[in-house]
Amino acid sequence: MAFKSDSNATAANSDENAAIVLAAAGAVSPVNELNAINRAALCKTASVVHVQRNDQIKPENSHRWLMYLVEGSLTLYSGKEEVGVINARTPEALKPMFQDKGASLSARTSTVAKIVKFGREQLDILLREQQKNAVSVVDVQVGELDNLIFDDIVEAMSTHSVTLPSSSESAAKILVAYSKVAGIPQLAEVIQCDPGLAVHIVRSANKVDAGTTESTSSIRGAITRLGVEETQRSIADFLQRNTMVPANETIEKRFRRLIKRTTLSAAIVQVLSKELSHLKPEVAMLIALSADVGELLILKYANKHADRFNDEQELAGVIDNLRVIISGWLMSSWEFPDEFVDACHTARDWYRTHNGEITYTDLVTAALLIIQSEMPDSEQSAIPSADNLLLARRLQQSGIDLTQPGEIVKAATSRIVTVQALLKAS
């Protein structure tokens, strides 16, 4: 049976195929040279081909497509002579099939197999554009631990079973306070103490009359749509099922740091957005809370394999490799507005340039720069100083001075203290 370029091809729009395509895009060469945004663009036009046992595959359309074996195995032939075997998840499978090969080459499946196809012309365009605009190129080496976490996340995404973990410390306080606070504004402030809970509440609200009403982009809007009583029930149910207890000190330390950073980042963007009339503090706060949701999920699955994640540097390396792509994938698949997805993909692109007004993503980047300046994670952090960044100058023109981070942190900390007092008083 001859393989046709479009036979059994399924556009990458189902969760399962989207997961397969995304995983391949981050691993195969040269697709993995694209940055997160360009990979996402290429994945939209990619497809997954399901091939039966003993099917023949020919390079007829290899000028249009780059094809990669992602499941199963293939035997390669030159004419009738067997010249090699490709197995999925091996170094050979990370290279395009039929790349620079003669027309006489073909392949036959030894098993049921899956092949991912990426558009060659679109890839070439994206690579050229990226190289033209690149400030620097970072070579990311993906290792065994990255694959361990990523495989778990892919499986959870394909079965629609992904949930974000909550901090046990935050959950304990919220479970005491949530039913006692008065009014939607106060309930929103209680919810914002935990990023996993905040994202869950907004997702739940956006499922109400989905497709007939505009998505809400704030916790207050979500409470209004759900109603206070339904929100309270959702809080209790979510926290009782999704509170994570770190299994070792390394994971606990990183989890605490993440919650502290996201909480402070959310408070900072609320302060900064008040200087910009076209941005809404409530939306800015939720975008900051959700920009690193991928790290939450990585820590959840690292906790499942806690015996493999006792080393801080190894855990940090997995987070650095996977955080951006997982965060963007989650927010996109959960159909959050474009501003949320953009913040996931772009907030850590420190050297980006763009014209126009300051965006929510710019504020998230500013918050991360401020936190690193005032409370550095480590001396080896990849986060640069704001001094020579174009973004810092653009923010300054809009009335936000990153050379005075202490004053911004002071104002943001005051907001956090107010919320913490609300929890204690309840």
What are 395-413's pLDDT values in tens digits?
A: 888 888 888 888 899 989 9
Domain boundary among 134, 149, 175: 134
Domain boundary among 83, 113, 134: 134
The closest alpha carbon to 366, from 417, 296, 291, belongs to 291
Residue 385 or 273, more confident: 273
- Detail the DSSP E strand segments found in 219-355: 243-244
Burial of 231 (0-12, 13-18, 19+ CB in 10 A): buried
Residue 94 or 213, more confident: 94
What range defines the domain where residue 125 resides? 9-134
- pLDDT single digits (tens) 190-215: 999 999 999 999 999 998 866 666 78
In sequence order, the 6+-apart residues with CB closer than 8 A to the CB of 17 are: 10, 11, 47, 48
Instruction: Specify which of 97-101, 119-123, 360-364 reaches the highest per-range mean pLDDT.
Output: 360-364
Tell me the percentage of the chain whose pLDDT exceeds 70.
89
Residue 98 or 95, more confident: 95
Kindly state whether residues 111 and 187 are assigned to the same domain: no
Mean pLDDT, rounded, for 219-238: 95
**Two tokens, residue 117:** 């196809």
Q: Is residue 153 part of a domain?
A: no
Kindly state whether residues 257 and 329 are assigned to the same domain: yes
Helix (H, G, I), strand (E, B) or coil at 294: helix
Kindly state whether residues 103 and 185 are assigned to the same domain: no
CATH number of the domain to which 127 belongs: 2.60.120.10
Mean pLDDT, rounded, for 217-234: 95
- Check residue 85 and give its pLDDT: 87
- Check residue 138 and give its pLDDT: 42
**pLDDT for 1 beyond 50:** no
Q: Report the C-alpha gap between 107 and 172 in whole angstroms.
A: 58
Q: Is residue 142 part of a domain?
A: no
- Check residue 254 and give its pLDDT: 95
Number of domains in the chain: 2
**pLDDT for 102 beyond 70:** no
Least confident of 265-279, 362-376, 379-393: 379-393
Residue 390 or 224, more confident: 224
Q: Is residue 126 part of a domain?
A: yes
- Band of residue 136 on the pLDDT scale cut at 50, 70, 90: very low
Residue 315 or 106, more confident: 315
- Check residue 80 and give its pLDDT: 81
Q: Is residue 149 part of a domain?
A: no
**pLDDT for 9 beyond 50:** no
Kindly state whether residues 99 and 174 are assigned to the same domain: no
Q: Is residue 40 part of a domain?
A: yes
Q: Report the C-alpha gap between 58 and 107 in whole angstroms.
A: 7
**pLDDT for 336 beyond 70:** yes
- Band of residue 4 on the pLDDT scale cut at 50, 70, 90: very low
Q: Report the C-alpha gap between 311 and 17 in whole angstroms.
A: 33
Instruction: Specify which of 152-161, 281-290, 314-323, 404-413 reaches the highest per-range mean pLDDT.
Output: 281-290
For every residue of 32-74, DSSP letters joined together read GGS-HHHHHHHHTT-EEEEE-TT-EE--TTTTTEEEEEEESEE
**pLDDT for 223 beyond 60:** yes
- Check residue 6 and give its pLDDT: 38
Kindly state whether residues 111 and 237 are assigned to the same domain: no
- Check residue 303 and give its pLDDT: 97
- Check residue 280 and give its pLDDT: 95
Domain boundary among 82, 113, 134: 134
Q: Report the C-alpha gap between 233 and 131 in whole angstroms.
A: 50
CATH number of the domain to which 410 belongs: 1.10.3210.10
Mean pLDDT, rounded, for 49-71: 84
Residue 359 or 141, more confident: 359
Answer whether 224's CB lies under 8 Å from 135's CB.
Answer: no
Q: State the DSSP H helix or E strand holding residue 131, giving kind and residue range, or none if neither.
A: helix 120-133
Kindly state whether residues 180 and 232 are assigned to the same domain: yes
Residue 180 or 315, more confident: 315
- Check residue 79 and give its pLDDT: 78
Kindly state whether residues 175 and 92 are assigned to the same domain: no
- Check residue 210 and give its pLDDT: 62
Mean residue pLDDT across the chain: 86
**Two tokens, residue 118:** 């990426």
Kindly state whether residues 123 and 259 are assigned to the same domain: no
Q: Report the C-alpha gap between 370 and 366 in whole angstroms.
A: 6
Q: Is residue 366 part of a domain?
A: yes
Kindly state whether residues 194 and 286 are assigned to the same domain: yes
- Band of residue 352 on the pLDDT scale cut at 50, 70, 90: confident
Q: Is residue 150 part of a domain?
A: no
**pLDDT for 379 beyond 60:** no
- pLDDT single digits (tens) 24-36: 898 888 898 888 7
- Check residue 383 and give its pLDDT: 80
Least confident of 83-92, 138-147, 162-171, 273-282: 138-147
| Residue in the block written with tokens 């010249």 | 83
Question: Does a cis peptide bond (omega within 30 degrees of 0) precede residue 384?
Answer: no
Kindly state whether residues 221 and 325 are assigned to the same domain: yes
**pLDDT for 249 beyond 60:** yes
Kindly state whether residues 272 and 396 are assigned to the same domain: yes
Kindly state whether residues 347 and 242 are assigned to the same domain: yes
Q: Is residue 2 part of a domain?
A: no
Mean pLDDT, rounded, for 51-59: 85
- Check residue 48 and give its pLDDT: 93
**pLDDT for 109 beyond 90:** no
